[in-house]
Amino acid sequence: MTTRSMNQIFKPKQLNSVSKHPLPQTIEPTSVSQAISQSQWREAMSTELTALMKHGTWDLVPSPSNCNPVGYKWVFRVKRKADGLMDRFKTRLVAKGYNQRPRLDYKETFSPVVKPATIRAIMTIAVMNGWELRQMDVNNAFLNGELTETVYMMQPSGFKDLSKPTHVCRLRKAIYGLKQAPRTWYTALKNAILQLGFHNSKADSSLFIYSQGIEVVPTQAGLFLSQHKYVRDLLSKTNMSAAKDVSTPLSTSQSLKLVDGTAPVDSSDFRRIIGSLQYLSLTRPDISFAVNKLSQFMHKPTQTHWTATKRLLRYLKQTIFHGIQISKSGLPLLTTFSDADWAGNVHDRTSTSAYISFLRSTPISWSSKKQRAVARSFTEAEYRALANAASETMWLQNLLKELGFPLKTAPQLLCDNLGATHLSFNPVNHSQPVPHPRAFVFRIGFLLRPSSCAKGTGADGTVVGMSEGGGEYVWVEPVGVSSIWGLMGGGETEWVGCVGWGVTGWVDCVGWGVTGWMDCVGGLLGNWVGGLCGMGGNWVGGLWGMGGNWEGGLCRIGGN
């Protein structure tokens, strides 16, 4: 056998990493004394203090007898743009909020955060409608929030009032670092936006957009979301810039365990890297499962877990320019794919649920999470994953409706497990503790892969064939009804009943509205052929049609 090395064929060595702009090396000071010795940092500190005084952040008062002033800290950062170019020298005076006392120095601290799916959905809608996207940044945002509690802070070093050296700062505004600062800022921003005529979304109360570190590049097809600069910085911090590339995020030949006999590693470094990878997954659904798996070992990581993390970083090095393409093309359809990994966790034999939702051809929401309970069968694991996917699909549908973009067609929920699909439509009492079929109260269709079934095409889209793994998937969506309930329902516009699957086709019963169950026998507005029923149509090829006829062994509902 002749190898490439024998023919003097070698892989070229990478001498330089390609970058759109050179990244200057600027050392960030770690103390006030280091910062004061450099003119650019002194100017940045003066700018920060001027902004604090302009907003009336504090008053100098004599220190009360029962005063518990919180400390402070100067933070120095070099702000860069999404493409890596240096923007400005930034300093921030922050309070040491961990010195605050509960119920005395602060009360409520909760502040809502926008869901990543909301941002991606809005961007996708903007591209489809040709809207202009604008981004706004609020300088010293937290200083707009008014404090309702009495909080004292020490005077910052380097800017003390020499005439009042023993005085303390009584805070009027929510300076950065206070536990209640995010909540006060959100309250101030919300009130200002409401005064302009806006209203809160019921699906997501934070619809203002700010994407830090995510580069949005306009293309001929739409927009491209990327975090390649973030990946490059992460590889540099972990000394993985020169590592060998790999083509998959995780190894398929090794199962990660909590206890594997290898030496432990520094948990703080491991947690910091996993946190960075979780933020990166906002635009990288391909690493969602790997990040979820590695996150399960943050409390006590070992050398094996660190090796798996380095493999994920090597995969990111190969796919550094990957991201999300928001395209103008495609049908205005919301599609969600559901899947599960049964008993994939070797430690406790729990399963993993996963889904990904597409608006047109753009992924806008995805998740990969460990199931809380142990599934006794593959069908049960898929059923639980299907319930999570259904919940997210319904939430996205409501969000799009509130944004003034109602879907003209019902969302599609696709599952590749026939048992889970059958279970969601049949009122069968099972001994296994699976979720109750009442959890599925939405309009749903089937994704089937029968052993012998021709690939159907229809202008109305009721029968669609998709190829995966050599098999034919068939999408069958009921048309002309408002909802399908897995167990039971009422009303003339709802499905009430079940559909079964047998070796000779559909063999179980379908009930309609107030007419009720047909007990698997009998026909309604149709004729019997071969012992099976038809509803509003005739039998062709031994299968049933509803409002139409069968063609090629597949059902087309509402058509011929």
pLDDT in tens, 192-204: 877 776 767 777 8
Residues 241-295: tens digit of each pLDDT: 999 999 999 998 878 888 888 999 999 999 999 999 999 998 999 999 999 999 9
d(CA 560, CA 458): 9
d(CA 58, CA 70): 13
Helices (H), 107-205: 116-129, 181-195
Q: What are phi and psi of 117, to 5 degrees?
A: -65, -30
d(CA 501, CA 468): 21
Beta bridge partners of 70: 153
Instruction: Tell me what pLDDT residue 115 has.
Output: 87
For residues 495 and 1, the model is more confident at 1
Instruction: Tell me what pLDDT residue 437 has.
Output: 41
Instruction: Tell me what pLDDT residue 172 has.
Output: 92
Cα-atom radius of gyration of the chain, to the nearest Å? Answer: 30
Instruction: Tell me what pLDDT residue 153 has.
Output: 92
pLDDT tier for residue 209 given thresholds of 50, 70 and 90 = very low
CA dihedral 83, 86, 88, 94 (to 10 degrees): 70
State which H helix or E strand residue 414 sits in.
strand 412-415
Per the prediction, the chain carries an average pLDDT of: 73
State which H helix or E strand residue 390 sits in.
helix 378-402
Residues 391-442: tens digit of each pLDDT: 999 999 999 998 888 888 889 999 888 888 887 776 554 555 454 444 433 3
Tally DSSP H helices, then E strands, for the chain: 10, 19
For residues 193 and 554, the model is more confident at 193
Q: Residue 520 carries which DSSP code?
A: T
For residues 127 and 535, the model is more confident at 127
Instruction: Tell me what pLDDT residue 536 has.
Output: 35
pLDDT tier for residue 208 given thresholds of 50, 70 and 90 = low
Residue 495 pLDDT > 80: no
Here the tokens at position 188 are: 């101030």
Residue indicated by tokens 């309970």: 373
| Range 162-169 average pLDDT | 86
